[in-house]
Amino acid sequence: MEKQTHLLFLLLFFSFTAIIFTEALAKEGRRGSLKLFVFGDSYVDTGNWEKFGPCWKEPYGMTYPGRPAGRFSDGRVLTDFLAWHLGIESPIPFELRKPENGSSVENGMNFAYGGTGVFNTTVNEPNMTVQINYFEQQLEQNVFTKDDLNSSIALVSLAGNDYDYDASIIKNDIKFVQASQELTTNIIHQLSINLKRLRALGIKKIAVTTVEPMGCLPKATVFSGYNNCSELFNGVAKYHNQVLANEVQKLNKETKDSHIFLLDLYGAFMSTLTKNGQLSGNSEMKTLLQPCCVGLEGKYFCGSVDKSGVKKYSVCSHPELSFFWDDVHPVQNGWKAVYYALRSTLNENIHFP
């Protein structure tokens, strides 16, 4: 009898262990199938630009991976940090995919192109609508399945490339505000169409970036010697983000089958750039508004070389201490700081059954 009881105990023990192990495998399987799909601009592009672009030339990529690799930074960008948070590698850029190699899409796919917006911009690259077309083609070709989408996330970046003004408007504050607010209405309307489309295609969770403080970008602060942010352009960003927040709230009320949430780049940038309300600096730079990589003259920019191949730019001694890499984009450590500021939002919103 005692022997039978012992055998029964062992049987129950191993049965219970098997159940736990099976559940663990199931969870791990869901974790392993998690994919990240990326749409937007240079803040999330990891290699879709054609190789004549500046992001494929030195000194871009000098920190990671140690050579130019198509990122608009000295190293990793927002996509890389979100992928790291999810426990996966950065998804393959659409332009670098290899259809014959199925494993290349195991982490999802990146459809973002630097310089683009929801509308066509001065950059001749696919806007967000076209990017979603590419994604839909991948679904039609069964590169990704419905099961892939059930535990996947879309990252949508809109950093402000659609805000392009005539110089005469910028000089008139009233006209500028009116024009920017009308433009914001159109931009958010088109973005909303894009988000609904991603939702209809089967994406369950969508992270959308707010616009960063555009008035604090080096291209705006250069006129003050990198000492002050432009409140006019920051006002545009704040208005954009408020309209965006209202629209996202509206979209989430329409259905419970998916969830859209905001990644507050404005707040994340500002919390990194300032301390106790004052602009921060480092041993090499008076304020963090100053970019690490700059052109030697007005007609040159980060990565410029003349016809003889002579460098026409300079790079700071310690990129890791800077926030901005060039006149628009953060350095890798800048993006890392932004990620840490966004981490609580990610933890609150990324859950799968």
The domain limits of the chain are 35-275+333-349
Binned at pLDDT 50, 70 and 90, residue 31 comes out as very low
What are the Cα distances from residue 186, in Å, to 162, 165, 180, 182?
A: 10, 14, 10, 7
**Better pLDDT: 183 or 284:** 183
**Better pLDDT: 57 or 282:** 57
Binned at pLDDT 50, 70 and 90, residue 236 comes out as very high
CATH of domain 35-275+333-349: 3.40.50
Active-site residue (options: 41, 45, 329, 344): 329
Average of per-residue pLDDT across 45-66? 95
What are the Cα distances from residue 256, in Å, to 80, 132, 154, 195, 203?
A: 29, 22, 17, 15, 12
Active-site residue (options: 6, 157, 326, 327): 326
**According to the model, what pLDDT value does residue 25 have?**
30
**According to the model, what pLDDT value does residue 147 have?**
87
Name which of 116-120, 237-241, 281-285, 324-328 the model is least confident about: 281-285
Q: Regarding beta strands 293-295 and 313-315, do their DSSP bridges make them parallel or antiparallel, or are they unpaired?
A: antiparallel
Q: What is the mean pLDDT of the chain?
A: 88
Integer Cα distance of 157 and 206 in angstroms: 11
Binned at pLDDT 50, 70 and 90, residue 167 comes out as low
Active-site residue (options: 41, 42, 73, 240): 42
CA torsion through residues 236, 242, 245, 246, sign? negative
| Residue 12 pLDDT exceeds 50 | no
**According to the model, what pLDDT value does residue 27 have?**
36
SS3 293: strand
In this structure, how many other beta carbons lie within 10 angstroms of the beta carbon of residue 341?
Answer: 18
Name which of 29-33, 141-145, 228-232 the model is least confident about: 29-33
Count, residues in the chain: 353
329 labelled catalytic: yes
246-281 exposure pattern, b = at least 16 Cβ within 10 A, e = fewer: ebbeebeeeeeebbbebbbbbbbbbebbbeeeebeb
**According to the model, what pLDDT value does residue 8 have?**
36
240 labelled catalytic: no
What is the maximum span of the chain, computed from C-alpha positions, in angstroms? Answer: 96
**According to the model, what pLDDT value does residue 353 have?**
62
15 labelled catalytic: no
**Is the distance from CB of 272 to CB of 321 less than 8 angstroms?**
no
Binned at pLDDT 50, 70 and 90, residue 9 comes out as very low
Integer Cα distance of 121 and 167 in angstroms: 16
Binned at pLDDT 50, 70 and 90, residue 15 comes out as very low
The alpha helices in the chain, defined as continuous H runs, are 2-33, 78-86, 128-140, 146-150, 167-170, 173-201, 218-221, 231-254, 265-273, 332-349
**According to the model, what pLDDT value does residue 279 have?**
87
